[in-house]
A and B are shown apart, each in its own frame.
Chain A
Amino acid sequence: MKITIDEGKCVGAGQCVLVAPDVFDQRDEDGVAVLLTEETPEDERPRVQEAARVCPAAAIATDGR
């Protein structure tokens, strides 16, 4: 599945990492979210969508709904 993180919006809250630790990581210096792998497997979709919903900066977008 395709995931985009808006780096300008991300506040480095790390909530996405708490929800989907196999998908998201944070940059060392500012905590901005990064994807652990280029391709995220489909079976992570529910967690990724949960992460997108809890992100306090609305910084995560996914393909489809």
Chain B
Amino acid sequence: MPRSGHRDGRPVSRHIVVVGTGAAGLGVAQELRHLGYDEALTLVGAENHPPYDRPPLSKRFLTGAADAEQLWLAGPDTLDRLGATVHRGRRATGADLAARTVSLDDGRRLPYTDLVIATGVTPRTLPGIAEHAGAVTLKTLEDAHSLTGRLRPGRRLVVVGGGFLGTETAWTALSMGCEVTLVTPTPTVLPGLGEQVGSLTGERLAAAGATVLTGTAVEAVRQGDGPPGSGDLRVLLDNGTRLPADTVLTAIGSAPDVGWCGTTGLDLADGIRCDAVGRAAPGVHACGDVAAWYCPPHGRHLRLEHRMHAGDQARVVAADLLGGHRELDWVPFFWTDQGPHKIVVHGLITPEAEFETHEADTEHDRFTGVYRTNGRVCAVLGWNAPKQILRLRRELLTGPQTALGTPPPAGAPKPG
């Protein structure tokens, strides 16, 4: 693989172009500068906002308790200091990997020496649902703003999907006084966490006032009897029930934003397929939700949609771009706020993993648990036990402690 700072054996001045300015894309840019990269850097971001953080969109921000500035990962001042050319509100429409150019929706064509793809994911929807005014998804700041406006006390929200996004939003809507029904075809909510934790979460959600319909699929969403555009909707379930709703949130997962990479020849089977340091092709890296990295401990490619993972990968990519090495933390980590309950998971819960409670403190409504596959610990979970779970992680899961415990060398080697 040719070193990206060279072409045909000649050194060229570098120009790193990052497409997508979420946690992953911004993270690469910030880490590059942190490591001493002082050549050209360009960021292309489809959203017309400073880079912002998404997890609060289903939690604090949705209730109106935080304003947009509190979401910013880099406000105008921080962006200025980055010394990058920022194309905000611009979408990459294609890339020519042989010529090393990326084209934008304003007709511009940017030459690059290195391209970083960090375009994230887009929520999936149900067929035919988009035509209804009250049928929404939650991914962007605009989505959150419009949903906040709809979640008035007494309003009826139907959440389609029992994953993290659906359950979190259901809790938040309850706290705002809405009537909430959650529908999921799975036997419990949060199926990724196993039967025990999923059932418990579903029970708590129901005890808090939500109607939780598991093992139930949504067949269609139709206009209700109110005048068109009034937002009066009917959700048709596979058991024949018709649920009235003012708002229907579809939270059934996401698809990687790779449409613009269609002609690049990159492997797009599940997002962008990369090696263990995020290389997708000569001169191309990918990271964040859009990227499936080869994961040596598991011997396969993994695409995770976790906030911490996006930042971790970004730092690995930046180091690799500068000829250095930073090991990815192969113990993934995520959290989800289920209303008043915080679930934290370290590790990778495989579908066949079995859960066992490790320590429980019913008085404080907290416990930790361990997931095992073939007797080996693959993940640990904390329910309202953020401190205890870190201890358990240290005891039972070994990560590349060097990457976590030692600061990286100041100033990585420059190419050339």
Contact = CB atoms under 8 A, between A and B. Distances in A.
Interface of A: 8-9, 11-15, 17-19, 26, 28, 30-31, 46-47, 49-50, 53-54, 56-58
B387 A15 contact: no
A11 B390 contact: no
Given A14-B390, A28-B387, A56 B307 contact: yes
A29 B250 CA distance: 32
Contact of B342 (A15, A30, A54): A30
28 contacts: A8-B66, A9-B56, A9-B70, A11-B55, A11-B335, A11-B337, A12-B344, A12-B386, A13-B335, A13-B344, A14-B386, A14-B387, A14-B390, A19-B404, A26-B386, A28-B387, A31-B386, A47-B407, A50-B407, A50-B408, A53-B30, A53-B311, A54-B315, A54-B404, A56-B308, A57-B53, A57-B55, A58-B53
Contacts of B55: 11, 56-57
Nearest to A19: B404
A11 B34 CA distance: 24
B311 A54 contact: yes
A31 B369 CA distance: 17
Contact of B308 (A8, A13, A50, A58): A13
A54 B387 contact: no
Contacts of A18: 390, 404-405
A30 B333 CA distance: 17
B60 interface: yes
B31 interface: yes
A15 B407 contact: no
B246 interface: no
B377 interface: no
Interface residues of chain B: helix, strand, loop or mixed (majority): helix
A28 B390 CA distance: 12
- Chain B's interface size range is 20 to 34
Interface centre among B307, B335, B386 (most CB of A within 10 A): B386
Interface in B47-97: 53, 55-56, 60, 66, 70, 73
Contacts of B315: 53-54
Contact of B311 (A8, A9, A30, A56): A56
Contacts of A13: 308, 333, 335, 344, 386
A21 B308 CA distance: 19
Contacts of B53: 57-58
B114 interface: no
B327 interface: no
Contacts of A28: 387
Nearest to B26: A58
B312 interface: yes
Contact of B34 (A9, A31, A53, A57): A53
B365 to A, nearest CB: 11
B315 to A, nearest CB: 7
Contacts of A17: 390
A51 to B, nearest CB: 10
Contacts of B405: 18-19
Contacts of A31: 342, 344, 386-387
B312 A54 contact: yes
A13 B308 CA distance: 9
Interface in B133-147: none
A50 to B, nearest CB: 5
B386 A8 contact: no
- The 4 closest A-B CB pairs, nearest first, are A31-B386, A46-B407, A56-B308, A12-B386
A9 B145 CA distance: 19
B333 A15 contact: yes
Contacts of A9: 56, 70
A26 B390 contact: yes
Contacts of B387: 14, 26, 28, 31
